[in-house]
Amino acid sequence: MQFVEEIVVDEFLPTVRSLLAGALRERGLTQSEVAGVLGISQSAVSKYAHGDVTTNDRIADDDRVDALVTELADGLVDGDITPVQALIEIEVLIRDLEAGGDLLAQLHEDAVPELAEYGSSFRVHDPESDLRTSERVLSSLRGGLRTLENANGFTRLIPAVGSNLVACTPDADDVDDVAGVPGRIFDVKGQTTVPASPEFGVSEHVATVLLAARRHGADASAAINIAYAPELLDRLAEGGHVTAEFDEGGDVASSVGAAIEDEPDATVLYQTGGMGIEPLIYVLGPDAESVAETIRALI
DSSP string, 143-168: HHHHHHHTSTTGGGG--TT-B-EEEE
In the predicted structure, residue 100 carries a pLDDT above the cut 60: no
User: 178 with 172: CB under 8 angstroms?
Assistant: yes
Other CB atoms within 10 Å distance of the CB of residue 175: 21
Res 1: pLDDT:
59
Compute CA distances 108 → 4, 24, 86, whole Å.
Answer: 6, 29, 25
User: 148 with 154: CB under 8 angstroms?
Assistant: yes
41-68 pLDDT per residue, tens: 889 888 888 888 888 899 999 999 999 9
CATH of domain 130-298: 3.40.225.10
Give the residue extent of every domain in the chain: 4-115, 130-298
Crossing angle of helices 205-215/252-262, nearest 10°?
40
The closest of 65, 69, 71, 53 to 107, measured between CA atoms, is: 65
In the predicted structure, residue 114 carries a pLDDT above the cut 80: no
User: 123 with 105: CB under 8 angstroms?
Assistant: yes
Res 116: pLDDT:
58
Cα–Cα distance measured from residue 189 to residue 187, given in angstroms and rounded to the nearest whole number: 6
Instruction: State percent of the chain over pLDDT 90.
Output: 65
Res 45: pLDDT:
87
Res 113: pLDDT:
73
Compute CA distances 191 → 68, 156, 162, 164, 194, whole Å.
Answer: 59, 10, 13, 15, 10
The mean per-residue pLDDT over the stretch 27-41 comes to 91
Compute CA distances 173 → 118, 139, 166, 210, 214, whole Å.
Answer: 22, 20, 14, 11, 10
- Across 224-263, b (16+ Cβ under 10 Å) vs e yields bbbbbeeebbeebeeeebebbbbbbeeebeebbbbbbeeb
Cα–Cα distance measured from residue 233 to residue 114, given in angstroms and rounded to the nearest whole number: 49
Cα–Cα distance measured from residue 120 to residue 108, given in angstroms and rounded to the nearest whole number: 14
User: Can you state the percent helix, strand and coil of the chain, rounding each to 5?
Assistant: 55, 15, 35
The mean per-residue pLDDT over the stretch 86-91 comes to 89
Cα–Cα distance measured from residue 182 to residue 175, given in angstroms and rounded to the nearest whole number: 13
Res 122: pLDDT:
45
Res 68: pLDDT:
93
Question: What pTM was computed for the model?
Answer: 0.63
**Residue 61: exposed, middle, or buried by beta-carbon count in 10 A (0-12, 13-18, 19+)?**
exposed
Looking at this protein, which amino acid is placed at residue 170? P
Res 260: pLDDT:
96
Cα–Cα distance measured from residue 222 to residue 246, given in angstroms and rounded to the nearest whole number: 18
Cα–Cα distance measured from residue 271 to residue 245, given in angstroms and rounded to the nearest whole number: 6
